[in-house]
Amino acid sequence: MPVVKQTLPNGVRVLVESVSHVGSASIGLWCRTGSVNETPHEGGITHLIEHMLFKGTQRRTAKQIAEEIEGRGGMLNAFTDKEQTCYYCRVLATDSETALDVLTDMVTGSLLDPEELAREKGVVLEEIKRGEDEPSDHVHDLHIEGLWDGHELGRPVIGTRESVSSFEQGDLKGYIDRRYRADNVIVAVAGNVAGDGIVDAVTERLGALRNGSMTPSLDRPKPNPGRNLVAKDVEQVHFCIGTEGVSVYDDELYTMVVLDGVLGSGMSSRLFQEVRERRGLAYSVGSYHLGYSVGGAFTVYGGTGVKTWPEVEHVVRVEFDKLMADGLPEDELAKVKRSLSGTLALSLEGMNSRMIRMAKNEFVFGRDVPLEETLAKIDAVTAEGVVELARRILLEEKIRTTAIGPFA
């Protein structure tokens, strides 16, 4: 079924994809706000607010929020990214209105109780410590901070010990008032639901939300090449080797997706085959691309021994150079495109994936993007285009390397 879109008079957008052959529904309440929208003194406040909205409203305690979803066999969660925040749940289709009531109540009626805030700041501080104790996770944050040093995209979503410790109830209320405005909000629902019923329920619960958000435009981040080796008493070297990527609006977006697929996305990729399968230098090695509104980042990651780290770094460089010098065979290009198309199509058999794709397409393009359109853009990628992009972004002087390991 096509996605049905309805914009309420105050600017809240409602997206519904009715899928009659399933018995569930995935519901997401999205806000176009993230770490890029924080002032220099607000580092991590978006993420802390995400935590706090689970801690009780005027109508429900924290326990009741959880019980109303989980007590019906559903799941409830949330995530904060650099540009978006999402509160979502998956429930039986017959429980959709209850789930929607819980999500909207969390966003519009949260108490932000000072005692709960003090406890939750402690929870986030422990989350920060846990991340720093996990080098395989922490290296990614360090890498992006270094690659985009000084830019809003380089800020850690979780914030810092100092910033998180400083927040008071008024800070959270001020940020919510500034960012949780109607024209920033999308409610996306995929599953066995009726569109009219969802729109009526959202209108009743979010129809009074104020609009008029202010979202300053960002400059494109300038990549900061270099090398950052962090000494830590660990067994492995955990590394990120990366460079600039493309934004979600760039014409080369799908060329970048294919380039990622060729180099490191999946067990048949060049880096996995060379580093793990042929040489046995790492258990985990791969790559990923992060695309945002004003820029992107391409990263190769993995973990290896301190003695084999120089060889792994050399192999990554060799694979970059080989692609730039020798090109991309048509049979390899076809294999990667087929894999990407199949992965995307299979993912959309899940209602949660459909819900997320709907919302992200609305934020980025302002419309539903049919699967066929995306598959056609992947299919249109050429070997020449992939190699040209590689030659522009994978030059040695553009690379940033971040590693945490038992360095002397």
Residues 171, 57, 62, 170, Cα dihedral to 10°: 10
State percent of the chain over pLDDT 90. Answer: 97
Q: Which of 17, 50, 68, 313 is catalytic?
A: 50
Q: What's the whole-number average pLDDT of the chain?
A: 97
The neighbour count for residue 367, using CB atoms within 10 Å, is 10
Residues 25 and 191: beta-carbon distance below 8 Å = yes
Residues 46 and 33: beta-carbon distance below 8 Å = yes
Question: Residue ranges per domain, the chain?
Answer: 4-206, 226-405
Rg (CA), the chain: 22
Q: Which of 361, 393, 86 is nearest to 259 (CA)?
A: 393
* CA diameter of the chain: 64
Q: pLDDT grade, residue 216 (50/70/90)? A: confident
What pairing do the DSSP bridges indicate for beta strands 13-18 and 185-191?
parallel
Instruction: Supply the pLDDT for residue 257.
Output: 98
pLDDT tens column, 349-363:
999 999 999 999 999
Q: Which of 107, 95, 113 is nearest to 205 (CA)?
A: 107
Q: Which residue, chain included where needed, has tokens 């770490």?
A: 35
SS3 label, residue 311: helix
pLDDT tens column, 299-311:
999 999 999 999 9
Q: Does the structure show a pLDDT above 80 at 1? A: no
Positive or negative, the CA dihedral 53, 59, 60, 65 is negative
Q: Which two tokens stand for residue 223?
A: 């990549």
Active site residue 372: no
**80: phi then psi, degrees, rounded to nearest 5:** -120, 130
Quote the DSSP letter at residue 58: S
CATH T-level fold of 4-206 = Cytochrome Bc1 Complex; Chain A, domain 1 (3.30.830)
Residues 78, 67, 98, 359, Cα dihedral to 10°: 10
Question: Is 226-405 a CATH 3.40.50.1000 domain?
Answer: no
Q: Which residue, chain included where needed, has tokens 């018995």?
A: 23
The whole-number average pLDDT for the span 110-128 is 98
Rounded Cα distance between 403 and 229, Å, is 5
Decide whether 4-206 matches 226-405 in CATH topology. Answer: yes
Distances (CA, A) of 233 to 62, 227, 236, 407, 408: 39, 19, 9, 8, 10
pLDDT tens column, 273-323:
999 999 999 999 999 999 999 999 999 999 999 999 999 999 999 999 999
